[in-house]
Structure 1
Amino acid sequence: MTDRRYTLSKNERLCGKKNIQELFNEGSSFYFFPFKVYYSFNKNKTEGDHCALFTVPKRLFSKAVDRNLLKRKIKEAYRLNKPQFYNIPTSRPINIAYIYTARKMLNYSDIESSMIRCQKKLADNILNAQNDEEKN
């Protein structure tokens, strides 16, 4: 698992109503423009890949074409920058949801730079949470 490929496979996507509901109900969150990020440790698995969910609200972008274009840009930014994120030592896999909150479409370079900074902030939050768990 040390050699990561730049792919986004099915087992790296967050699926299932129960898992998604658990993430939004019990997970932590933070806001980093243009993303609202929810994250939690996966209680069901002890090993494996982190799972990610990408959403663009229908009330912000009523046309499916626009929503799909934004989701493709977000997934691409995540896929190309996830090897740095996977270097974080964690005890369990993490479920992550990225919700796009900007009211206008951003270009890919803006989304990618925000994704990189967002992943750094998420890594800091995860390391802090793990340190708090170890102290207790």
Structure 2
Amino acid sequence: MYTFKKEERLCNKKLIDGLFHNGSSFLCYPFKASWMVAAEQQVFPVQVLFTVSKKRYKRAVDRNAVKRRMREAYRLNKQALLYDALMASNKQLILSISYIGKEITPYDFFEKKIIKLLIQLSKELGA
């Protein structure tokens, strides 16, 4: 239930290009979410990509710390806030979550904002 496997990560270059060219997006500061309904059948309801700007965070240590916090918050909240709604509507998603914040905040802030982002995403899918 609280896992984050390789199959859940978005690695396919064609899918990533398609997501950024044809997908929808919204802002939920300090995150920007881009999403697209998946054309092909996937093992998991969502394939997700986490990005942090190299321009804003020069040191890899900082980028990795931010991505680690994003992944952990997503991993713990995806089932209740996103997967259940997607399974009910029989949809599958390709999702990108980009960090656009200016400073590295504590984990509890990341978790609160990821929860808000997942709720907003499930509302957009329902509409």
Provide the C-alpha distance between the structure 2 equivalents of 1:52 and 1:20, rounded to a whole number of angstroms.
10
RMSD: 1.2
Q: Cα–Cα, structure 1 residues 46 and 7, in superposed 2: closer, same or farther, change >3 Å? A: closer
- 1:74 lines up with 2:70 in the alignment: yes
Provide the C-alpha distance between the structure 1 equivalents of 2:11 and 2:45, rounded to a whole number of angstroms.
13
Residue identity matched to 1:30: F
Offset at 1:96? Answer: 0.6
Q: Mark the structure with the bigger radius of gyration.
A: 1
TM-score (norm 1): 0.87
- 1:21 lines up with 2:20 in the alignment: no
Aligned counterpart, 1:83: 79
Within-5 A mapping of 1:27-42: 27-42=23-38
Provide the C-alpha distance between the structure 1 equivalents of 2:119 and 2:45, rounded to a whole number of angstroms.
18
| CA offset digits 1:25-83 (Å, max 9, x no partner) | 11100000110000001112266431110000100100000000100000000000011
| CA offset digits 1:95-121 (Å, max 9, x no partner) | 110000001111100000000011000
- 1:45 lines up with 2:38 in the alignment: no
Aligned counterpart, 1:119: 118
Aligned counterpart, 1:96: 95
The list of structure 1 runs, each at least 4 consecutive aligned residues, that deviate by more than 3 angstroms after superposition, is: none
Unaligned runs of 5+ in 2: none
Provide the C-alpha distance between the structure 2 equivalents of 1:122 and 1:10, rounded to a whole number of angstroms.
22
- My pick for the range that moved more, 40-49 or 7-16, is 40-49
